[in-house]
Structure 1
Amino acid sequence: MIKNVHGNTVDHLGVAILAGRYPPGATIPPEPALCDELGVSRTVVREAVKSLVAKGLVSTGPKVGTRVLPADQWNWFDPDVVAWQSKAGLTREFLRDLQELRRVVEPAAVRMAAERATAADIAGLEAAFQGMRRAVEEGGDYVSHDLQFHQGLLKACHNRMLVQMSHALGPLLRTSFEISTSRSDGPRQSLPLHRAVLDAVIARNPAKAEKASLVLIAGAREDIEVVLATRRRLPKVDLPASHLRAA
């Protein structure tokens, strides 16, 4: 998606903060300096800073300027923040936090999905799984179908807060999937693990579904550790999902 001047300015400053050019506690250059550096008007800079304030990255005040806030105050559920972290470089701490979040949320959500999923929910999950299978066997976009599968599980809980969380978690989950599927044969090995989760939900077996979800998350964590150990360049989540080649 092509962004306007405002969007590009926000992106530039966001990446600079996530990359540590302006570390927590530091003050961002004043408006005139940013205008000269970026070639934009004061109005654009001012609106960009407002966007960063809304995302929890900075605070502003008289006589103190625009100061970068500690990372634990940043909105990590904001898609832009996730994309900026990807551009700046995905850290072990970021990936650890993401995997811990998945382990806390998903197994309990899958347990509820096994109790509450409707026929339409299950049809959607089955369609997402078949999309993953086709991507493995014939080549194609595995990650998008994988994301649909996991977001479908959260929606199948029929808990309004978890449904909202499914939207917020999307960019974070995609980050995990992009990395784990970059492991050679990772998607093919994960297919039966996804099938086990879906079968348990269809069977209305909450305990089995929760256990299968934990196994699936553990497998993703192992894939990510293997990818990190190779020190290969990590995928960027602000780009289109990578496609698998036909087997």
Structure 2
Amino acid sequence: MPSSDQDVLIPTSNTLSRSLSGQISRKLGERILDGQLQPGQLLPDENALCEEFGVSRTAVREAVKMLVAKGLLEVRQRIGTRVQDVGNWQMLDRDVLMWHQSLTIEDERLISLMELRQSIEPDAAYYAANRRSEAQLKAILDAVDQMQASTRENSEYVLADARFHIAVLRATNNRYLEALENAIFAGLMLSIRLTNPEESLNRKSVPLHRAIAEAIAAQDADAAYSGMKNHLADAAARLSKVVKLDPSR
């Protein structure tokens, strides 16, 4: 997979990434986001984590507190520390965004995630047009405006793009669709660094998003569905140019 300075779209966090507890929280956070640690799964106990990372219990506890604050973990007395359900994850937290961007992923999985998005998001836009609240519509429209204002700054553009797609998914008011939020989010975060590496492509993408937002605002479900389908077809075509896929797939 190609790699360049443009791949790093989310700026690194400040003191969090430099402290011992911050480094541990990042490693554990990446394992959760990458699926190595599944929702409901218990973390190893403190002693095991201290031994693995070569740190004190204080550093481990601080790292766990950071991940609890981000909705990734929960601590229960007599049970232990376990991974939270996806719906509790703070997807738009800056560190969570950064951790998503740092994950490495094989090309075939990238394509699979795009296929999932193409299967789910057009219907999500359709339902959002029919069911969205005014507050949910505002979140969608604000995200498009932020994309428009951030085409020259990829880190901010990616953040706005993520907000848009999550806002549409949440506007379906369907908890089962919302449960797919992490997979949709992962597909977006892992592919956009390849499909939108420069300002000109960001500018091309904004009108596609705005057409979806305007259709949802007008409660035109068919137009919202078509708009999302067109947008994802465009993204998939760009992705296919920069990833390698087994022809037998």
| Band of TM-score, shorter chain | 0.5 to 0.7
Give the CA deviation at 1:116: 0.9
Aligned runs of 1:127-138 on 2, under 5 Å?
127-136=142-151
Change (3 A) 1:120 1:175: same
1:112 aligns with 2:127: yes
| CA deviation profile, 1:192-228 (whole Å, cap 9, x unmatched) | 1112211221222212211111110111112223344
Give the CA deviation at 1:99: 0.1
In 2, the alpha carbon distance for the partners of 1:202 and 1:218 equals 22
Q: Is the 8 A contact 1:179 1:227 kept in 2?
A: yes
In 2, the alpha carbon distance for the partners of 1:131 and 1:84 equals 22
Structure of higher CA gyration radius: 1
Match of 1:192 in 2: 207
Give the CA deviation at 1:98: 1.0
Q: Is the 8 A contact 1:182 1:227 kept in 2?
A: no
1:97 aligns with 2:108: no
Residue 173 of structure 2 is aligned with which of 150, 153, 158? 158
Equivalent pairs, count: 193
Percent identity of the aligned residues?
29
RMSD (Å) for aligned C-alpha atoms: 4.2
Q: Partner amino acid for 1:145?
A: A
Listed as ranges, the gaps of 5+ residues in structure 2 are 1-12, 32-46, 64-71, 73-84, 245-249
In 1, the alpha carbon distance for the partners of 2:103 and 2:137 equals 38
| CA deviation profile, 1:42-96 (whole Å, cap 9, x unmatched) | 9x99xx9xxxxxx9xxxxxxxxxxxxxxxxxxx9999899988865633211211
Give the CA deviation at 1:97: 1.4
Residue 222 of structure 2 is aligned with which of 196, 207, 221? 207
Q: Is the 8 A contact 1:146 1:177 kept in 2?
A: no
TM-score between the two structures when normalised by the length of structure 2: 0.59
Change (3 A) 1:130 1:100: same
In 1, the alpha carbon distance for the partners of 2:224 and 2:86 equals 28
Listed as ranges, the gaps of 5+ residues in structure 1 are 17-30, 49-54, 56-74, 230-247
Give the CA deviation at 1:131: 0.7
Change (3 A) 1:11 1:120: closer
Q: Partner amino acid for 1:104?
A: S
Q: Is the 8 A contact 1:183 1:227 kept in 2?
A: no
Aligned runs of 1:1-247 on 2, under 5 Å?
1=13, 2=16, 8=23, 39-40=54-55, 87=102, 89-136=104-151, 139=153, 141-166=156-181, 169-183=184-198, 185-228=200-243
